[in-house]
Amino acid sequence: MKKIPIAISSCLLGNEVRYDGGHKQSKYCLNTLSDWFDYKPICPEMGIGMPSPRPPIHLVEKGDSIRVVQVDDHDVDVTEELKGFARKRIPELDRISGYIVIRNSPSCGMERVKVYHENGNPAGKSTRGVYIGEIMKQRPELPVEEEGRLQDPKLRENFITRVFAYEDFQENVKANPTIDKLVKFHSRYKYLVMAHCYEDYKELGRLVANQDGLATAEIIDKYELGLMTSLKKIANPKSHSNVLYHIMGYLKDSLTSEAKQELVNVIEQYRKGMVTLIAPVTLINHYIKQFGNDYIASQAYLDPHPIELGLRNYI
């Protein structure tokens, strides 16, 4: 399988680009995800010409705005350089399907980066780093996650689901956009979206049906943002069980009553937290392979990311 292009904070790959001359190597990114992801390392601070090592910078509240300044000299302000660097990189990041960043960085941190008063005291507020903030403003559909949050099984599964879905969308819809391709894509993603948000599933269906007579490009742009916003919502045992029962409906004429009861038992065990999601999904996949029609067998929900990652073993 072709690896998915992913941007990443350069220090996470072990590159010595941090202010202290060190790195923040992530074993999970480097040893596990690298089998599927083709990393594009970016260090925005080095990108604007700062050396490593360098004096540290932090976020400071100045009037109505948040600036990125040198900790020991607030006159050194690199806010505009970091924003400009982000804008310059946007076109070449066009084909990435995700971005992994590091937490607490005034440049790269996705959220909860501390803001200080001009006198150096904490301002009691936080925000995202200036560089990644600009990237996320320009690319609101892009899956972005902090490496530290990938330790959480639900957030990890959610991020990787979004990356694979977005890559699929870019390959199979955006590369050569037509309504026919969008309809086919949506048909495969119905149940995955339903697991994340039932209302979004209905809304995206209405959009694809194009009752408002929108132009193709507009529908595809709206669908892209709607899909990625929806998948960001964390699916839960109730919504997964609902989808599993929907899929089971396609097997109702093929399964014996014993097999149906067994499947219901496993779905209920999952819903009550006695087994993880992999248990009902494995069983339902087993039956879909034997009895499922093309439509249900092609559902992204059944196989949203590589089984080797074991993501559904922990949720």
In the complex, what is the shortest distance from the CB of residue 133 to ligand SF4, in angstroms, rounded to a whole number?
13
Identity of the residue, 44 or 292, whose beta carbon is nearer to ligand SF4 in the bound complex: 44
144 neighbors 185 (Cβ within 8 angstroms): no
209/227 Cα distance (integer angstroms): 15
Using the rule CB under 6 A, is 43 a contact of ligand SF4?
yes
Among 238, 164, 156, which Cα is nearest to 198's? 238
> Is 9 a binder of ligand SF4 (CB under 6 A)?
yes
Between 134 and 157, CB nearer to ligand SF4: 134
Cβ 122 to ligand SF4 shortest distance, Å: 20
Size of the site for ligand SF4 (CB under 6 A): 12
* Residue 194 interacts with ligand SF4 (CB under 6 A): yes or no: no
Cis peptide before 53 (omega within 30 of 0): yes
C-beta separation of 213 from 225 below 8 A: no
CB of 11 to ligand SF4, least distance (A): 3
Query: Which of 4, 6, 10, 242 touches ligand SF4 by CB under 6 A?
Result: 10
Q: Name the DSSP class of 270.
A: H
Q: Is 44 in the site for ligand SF4 (CB under 6 A)?
A: yes
Residue 44 CB, nearest approach to ligand SF4 (Å): 5
Three-class DSSP category at 38: strand
Per the document, the length of the chain is 315
Residue whose CB is less far from ligand SF4, 110 or 251: 110
**Minimum CB separation from ligand SF4 for residue 9, in Å?**
4
Q: Cβ 105 to ligand SF4, closest distance in Å?
A: 4
- Whichever of 151 and 261 has its CB closer to ligand SF4, that residue is 151
Give CA–CA dist 165/307, Å, rounded: 15
Segments in 143-197 forming alpha helices (H): 153-169, 179-196
CB of 135 to ligand SF4, least distance (A): 12
**CB nearer ligand SF4, residue 93 or residue 275:** 93
- In the window 86-125, what residues touch ligand SF4 (CB under 6 A)? 102, 105, 107-108
The least distance separating ligand SF4 from the CB of residue 131, rounded to whole angstroms, comes to: 7
> Residues 6, 13, 18, 113: which binds ligand SF4 (CB under 6 A)?
18
Q: Which of 11, 29, 69, 283 binds ligand SF4 (CB under 6 A)?
A: 11
Task: Verify binding: residue 133, ligand SF4, rule CB under 6 A.
Answer: no
Does position 26 bind ligand SF4 by CB under 6 A? no
Binding residues among 200-259 for ligand SF4 as defined by CB under 6 A: none
Which of 13, 39, 45, 165: binder of ligand SF4 (CB under 6 A)?
Answer: 45
Residues lying near ligand SF4 in the complex (CB under 6 A) are found at: 9-11, 17-18, 43-45, 102, 105, 107-108
